[in-house]
Amino acid sequence: MQYADIFDLVETSQTDCLNQKDEHPWQAMLKAGDDDRYCESNVDEQLLLNIGFRERVKIKSIIIKAPADREDEFPQDVKLFINKRLGFGDVESEKPAQTFELEPEDVAEGRELATNFVRFQSVTNLSVFVERNHGGADTTIINRIQIIGCPIAGTNMNELKKVG
């Protein structure tokens, strides 16, 4: 089975981010390639990205990268939730599928963070909650989130045509 960046399986109409600055939206971090754009939190350091997929996917790992010169704004405590669209009120009561405590090097270098693969076998929605950043700065910055995985062989409901 071939694992790769599954950006092309993201359903943008089912994706949103809570507490993002209008001038630095989620589209700047969830993208196909590397560039200088970034997503920045708005009123505090927390960000909640809900990602919808066009079809069920398996997620092997995730990469979270930020601009190297902004270490105090790097995400530190990140929780992943699967198959639920969450708001900030939900993240305290829901049990995350996985939690990461990121070191600055993980974010600066864009290290691949392995998921607990058994839990990430049939994902239709991934919520990425940044609870705290590294330096206690007012905002958190993420340059790119890359999801490594593969589609689950099956029917893509978006490709079905009405007959008759």
What top-level class would CATH report for the domain 4-153?
A: mainly beta
Q: What is the pLDDT of residue 158?
A: 61
Rounded CA separation 102/84 (Å): 23
pLDDT at residue 61 greater than cutoff 80: yes
DSSP 134: S
Q: Look at 158 and 73; give whichever has higher pLDDT.
A: 73
As a whole number, mean pLDDT of residues 153-157 equals: 59
- The band of 162, judged by pLDDT with boundaries at 50, 70 and 90, is low
Rounded CA separation 164/156 (Å): 20
Q: What is the pLDDT of residue 41?
A: 97
- 48: which residues sit within 8 A by CB, 6+ positions away? 17, 18, 19, 86, 87, 88, 91, 127, 128, 129, 130
- 33: which residues sit within 8 A by CB, 6+ positions away? none
Question: What token pair was written down for 135?
Answer: 């330096």
Q: What is the pLDDT of residue 68?
A: 84
Tokens 């960000």, residue located: 47
Chain centroid to Cα 145, Å, comes to 5
Question: What token pair was written down for 118?
Answer: 């058994």
Mean pLDDT of the chain: 93
Tokens 């198959």, residue located: 83
Taking only the tens place, the pLDDT of each residue in 12-50 is 999 999 999 999 999 999 998 889 999 999 999 999 999
Rounded CA separation 147/21 (Å): 22
pLDDT at residue 132 greater than cutoff 80: yes
As a whole number, mean pLDDT of residues 50-57 equals: 97
Q: What is the pLDDT of residue 69?
A: 87
Bridge partners of 141, per DSSP, are 40
